[in-house]
Amino acid sequence: MPDAVRVLVAGEDDLTRARLRRVLEEDGAVVTEAESEAGLLIALGGTRPDVVVLHLPQRAARELATARLVHVRCPEVPVLAYASSPDRATVLAAIDAGARGYLLTDDNPAQIVAAVRAAAEGASPLSPRAATALVTDRAKPPGEHLTRRERDVLALLAEGLPNKEIARRLDISERTVKAHLTSAFRRIGVRGRTQAALWVRDHGLPVIDLRNHQREHNLDEGRIT
């Protein structure tokens, strides 16, 4: 890498950090590691990296919160998410948390190096498979990537019903309603109830037939119902 780009590699997994360090240092980067949020923040203050590469494990709520914190404290430092999943919901969650780009753990070294270079120069690199997933999902008919139960819950939310009433109408628990809403929000790329209701209105999500809701318990999905 020209001019010795300074890269901070963050994440709890030692092997992942070691792989990234090896790939980047072989191309001339100056790499610092952080295995915790506290260590990342200390390194940010001390080294002022050109790019942060943040590993997102399968369940990445804490790491996404860390990405948000980095974005708020050091908005000039681009964060690249480094994850195993290319699905639209995961990519959008990372970008919503402030990530400037998105890499996949099976990207080859040349792709990783090129993405870090691009981020250091102000670009927003996406792994090709992640970009393809975004475009493919956008081309699907509205709501196709939602489960039936997620569509049910969203349709009732759009009618202005609170979780308690949605649960009563669908004969499920409020906890289950919340779980479906959280999943649906991620799938359609919204942050809250108002945005979700507008999404339903704009995309014409079909209104469910509550008389037949018992036959739509998503047994084929293997999900919470």
> Could you report the average pLDDT of every consecutive run of 10 residues in the chain (225 residues)?
82 94 95 92 87 88 87 91 86 87 94 95 91 67 74 89 92 92 84 83 63 42 41
User: In this predicted structure, what is the pLDDT of residue 131?
Assistant: 85
What's the distance, CA 16 to chain centroid?
19
Would 32 be classed as within a structural domain? yes
SS (H, E, C) 119-135: HHCCCCCECHHHHHHHH
User: In this predicted structure, what is the pLDDT of residue 219?
Assistant: 37
Q: Burial level of 175, CB count in 10 A (0-12/13-18/19+)?
A: exposed
pTM comes to 0.64
Domain count, the chain: 2
- Residues spanned by the domain of 177: 148-216
**Spatial distance between the Cα atoms of 166 and 124, rounded to a whole number of angstroms:** 40
User: In this predicted structure, what is the pLDDT of residue 136?
Assistant: 66
User: In this predicted structure, what is the pLDDT of residue 163?
Assistant: 93
**Spatial distance between the Cα atoms of 223 and 202, rounded to a whole number of angstroms:** 27
User: In this predicted structure, what is the pLDDT of residue 214?
Assistant: 43
Residue at which a domain ends, from 137, 163, 197: 137
CATH number at residue 173: 1.10.10.10
Q: Round the CA-based radius of gyration of the chain to a whole number and report it.
A: 20
Note whether 120 and 195 are same-domain residues. Answer: no
User: In this predicted structure, what is the pLDDT of residue 224?
Assistant: 40
What residue spans of the chain are helical by DSSP H? 14-26, 37-47, 61-73, 88-96, 109-120, 128-139, 148-158, 163-170, 174-188, 193-203
Note whether 77 and 11 are same-domain residues. Answer: yes
Note whether 130 and 152 are same-domain residues. Answer: no
Note whether 108 and 161 are same-domain residues. Answer: no
The letter for the amino acid at 71 is H
Note whether 190 and 118 are same-domain residues. Answer: no
Residue at which a domain ends, from 84, 116, 137: 137
